[in-house]
Structure 1
């Protein structure tokens, strides 16, 4: 995704905040805000932000799983299933 078309100065945001929020929700594309010609912030709609956070959480879980595998901290599925069944029947 190219952000070059979605770059606005902070003065534009100040003057058109309501319009910017509507467009963010409608287009679901982030908006880069500049100050003194430099990119300073990125605005995005809430739904896109939530999706990003969920994706990051899943990636963290995958990374943790990969570290467990690399460290050898794994068990065969059959062994884990047997342990769970044993706990269930003893409860």
Structure 2
């Protein structure tokens, strides 16, 4: 994804806020906002932000699982199933 077409100065954002929000929602691509010629912020629509957060959470879970595997913190699936069944039978 190229961001070069999605770079706008803060003055553009101020003057066209509603249009920018519509464009963000429609294109679902982030927009880089500059101030004095320097990139200062990135804005995106809420749906894309939420999707990104969910993706990051899943990646974090995978990283934690990989660390557990590397540390030998694993159990056989059969042992876990047997444990759950015995707990359910005790109820």
TM-score norm. by structure 2 comes to 0.98
Q: Which residue of 1 aligns with 2:46?
A: 46
Q: Which residue of 1 aligns with 2:63?
A: 63
Count of aligned pairs between the two proteins = 91
Gaps of 5+ in 2: none
Q: Which residue of 1 aligns with 2:11?
A: 11
> Structure 1: how far apart are the matches of 2:80 and 2:41?
47
3-state DSSP class of the match of 1:64?
A: helix
Backbone CA RMSD of aligned residues: 0.6
> Structure 1: how far apart are the matches of 2:61 and 2:89?
30
> Structure 2: how far apart are the matches of 1:68 and 1:85?
24
Q: Which residue of 2 aligns with 1:76?
A: 76
CA apart distance, 1:21: 0.3
Residue by residue, what CA displacement relative to the aligned partner does 1:26-61 show, whole Å, maximum 9, x if unpaired?
A: 111110000111111001000000000000010111
> Structure 2: how far apart are the matches of 1:82 and 1:41?
52
TM-score norm. by structure 1 comes to 0.98
